Structure 1
Amino acid sequence: MFENSSLRNLLTLETLSLPPNHMYPAFIFGTLLYLIIVFCNLLVLTTIVVSKNLHKPMFILLFNLPISDLIGATAFFPHLIFSIVTQNRAVSPPACIAQAFFIHFYGTGNLLVLTAMAYDRYIAICSPLKYNTIMSPHFLMRIIVLIWFLDFSMMFVLFILLARFKFCRTNVVDLYCNNPSLMKLVCEDIRGNNYYGIASLIVVMGFPLMIIMYTYMQILRTCVITNHTDARKKAIQTCGAHLIVFLVLQINTTFTLISHRFQNVSPFLRRAFGVSILIIPPVLDPIIYGLKTRELRQNIIMFLKRSFFQISRHNQ
């Protein structure tokens, strides 16, 4: 698979441009941010696992979002923190391809999970009497399997196509490895990769966007015509938070991927948007769903109180 991994030359990621007096603050900030992301997402995962009243389609689908966020954050932060400490931006071709794979796997997974969650909310709000019948455990499992199968298979093919080539350049133009920046290191004909990349972009971003638009138009229509003010308010709050998470990821990802195809786009702006994909959703997702979803918030508080009580009781 990794034919180009035989290269003796290491690849060089874009410099962080950190002055010496900023190195340790950046290291501390990056480490704390990564630990916060890991803690918050693991907290959501653990709470859903141990709380039987959360074993519902909505929260089972939500369970997949922190998993994806942890994959993306772990693919990005440890290497970044190591680079800050060593001030060395070199990376081997296999490690770079692996990082790119997991980062794309994370982004695609998030979009597909959020799309499935939007469909779940659509059924819950627009067809509440049929919800339990449609969102049966069997159907729910098929959705989850389909999400991860599509995610893995599409990204696997994408990077198999990339691994055919040998790199003739070594300077990666971004702060982390990704498919567009790695394609710029290839001097051979990459039209096949471009065609597959465009098709993948349509599937991964176009179809979810259409599904989100349709489901939310139907949800909005249902909220407008319903006479139940409380139900309408709850639906708008839940869907509003979900829509914010989806649009942040969708807009940032679209700009980052498309900006690689235009020379006049500011490299700084492209890198800023690219890094935000790996920081904002993993930080935002557990906060939004943990604080805005009342049932999950209550169970998180109960889980923390129970855990602290057990720790304090054990120490006595």
Structure 2
Amino acid sequence: MMHFLMGQKRIAYILAIAQAFSVHTYGAAVLTVLGAMAYDRYVAVCEPLRYHAIMTSARLHTCCALAWIVALLLIVVLFSFHINVPLCGQRIDHVYCSNRGILNLACIPTPTNNIYGLAMTWTLSTGIFIIIGFSHIRILSASVKQGRNDKSVRIKAVQTCTPHLVVYVLYEIASLVIIVTLRFPSLSQNIRKFFSILVIIIPPAINPIICGLVSKELRSSIIKHFSIKVCPKRP
């Protein structure tokens, strides 16, 4: 934002690495956190009476820590391949620094980084897809059994699953757009930049709305807040 507002277009190499590392860590952590959330929802719906016994405070903290540790370790290995890679170029034609953008400046081919990056993306995406799919299938199965005589149980299960799935699908589509645009050099640079900005801004902006508005208490609070602002009580 500072570079954008002040018109500066230069960045030190170490800061470029730090920025790219942060962007990729965010991308990996989104998936791992969504996987942890899927497990939490599975326990809440399928084992409601044992939820507090299973998801203790210590286990909750462990799940959150593991989600971030896994993401950090994967990205640390990815960026370890940057060590001793000579750079010949100095121009990154993009709106922010990324692993691929920096390695495009390398004087030599970087097949190891490419192979690891694709393998990591495929493994992480597939693993989280399996976790989320398994969790939601079990949730829907349990809700059907529990809600045979109570329609509200099925409705609650759908309300529990839908926001999580929408956030997951939204993020996967955004990631796919980034991967596709990077793999097709014939695409216009302006198109790449436009989609890159959308991917960074849209999902984080929409996620709180999708997840938050499911909460009845939050909806009531928002409606109450705006009703007071729009129609203040007369003295």
Gaps of 5+ in 1: 1-79, 305-316
Q: CA RMSD in A?
A: 2.4
More off after superposition, 218-227 vs 101-110:
218-227
Q: Give yes or no for the alignment of 1:146 onto 2:60.
A: no
Distance 2:173 2:118 in 1: 16
More off after superposition, 200-209 vs 256-265:
256-265
2:176 paired residue number: 254
Cα pair 1:104 1:178 within 8 Å, conserved: yes
Cα pair 1:113 1:147 within 8 Å, conserved: yes
Q: Give yes or no for the alignment of 1:173 onto 2:72.
A: no
Change (3 A) 1:300 1:119: farther
- Structure-1-length-normalised TM-score: 0.64
Cα shift at 1:208: 0.7
Residues 93-172 of structure 1: matches in 2 within 5 Å?
93-172=13-92
Residues 169-248 of structure 1: matches in 2 within 5 Å?
169-225=89-145, 226-227=147-148, 228-248=150-170
Q: Give yes or no for the alignment of 1:88 onto 2:43.
A: no
Which structure would you say has the larger RCO, counting Cα contacts within 8 Å and 6 or more residues apart?
A: 1
Cα pair 1:112 1:208 within 8 Å, conserved: yes
Cα pair 1:181 1:260 within 8 Å, conserved: no
- Equivalent residue letter for 1:276: L
Q: Deviations over 1:114-134 (max 9, x none)?
A: 111111112212232332232
Distance 1:265 1:169 in 2: 21
Cα pair 1:122 1:216 within 8 Å, conserved: yes
Distance 1:301 1:132 in 2: 31
Change (3 A) 1:217 1:97: same
Distance 1:275 1:163 in 2: 28
- Structure-2-length-normalised TM-score: 0.83
- Equivalent residue letter for 2:14: P
Cα shift at 1:296: 5.2
- Equivalent residue letter for 1:116: A
- Equivalent residue letter for 2:184: F
Cα shift at 1:256: 0.6
Change (3 A) 1:129 1:288: same
Distance 2:200 2:16 in 1: 16
1:7 paired residue number: none
Change (3 A) 1:284 1:85: same
1:276 paired residue number: 198
Distance 2:36 2:4 in 1: 37
- Equivalent residue letter for 2:152: D
Cα pair 1:255 1:273 within 8 Å, conserved: yes
Change (3 A) 1:265 1:210: farther
Distance 1:139 1:179 in 2: 33
2:233 paired residue number: none
Cα shift at 1:300: 8.3
- Equivalent residue letter for 2:172: Q
Distance 1:179 1:126 in 2: 40
Cα pair 2:20 2:98 within 8 Å, conserved: yes
Q: Give yes or no for the alignment of 1:286 onto 2:208.
A: yes
Cα shift at 1:195: 2.0
- Equivalent residue letter for 2:154: R
**SS in structure 2 at match of 1:157:** helix
Change (3 A) 1:234 1:214: same
**SS in structure 2 at match of 1:162:** coil
Gaps of 5+ in 2: 226-235
Cα shift at 1:299: 7.7
Distance 2:152 2:41 in 1: 16
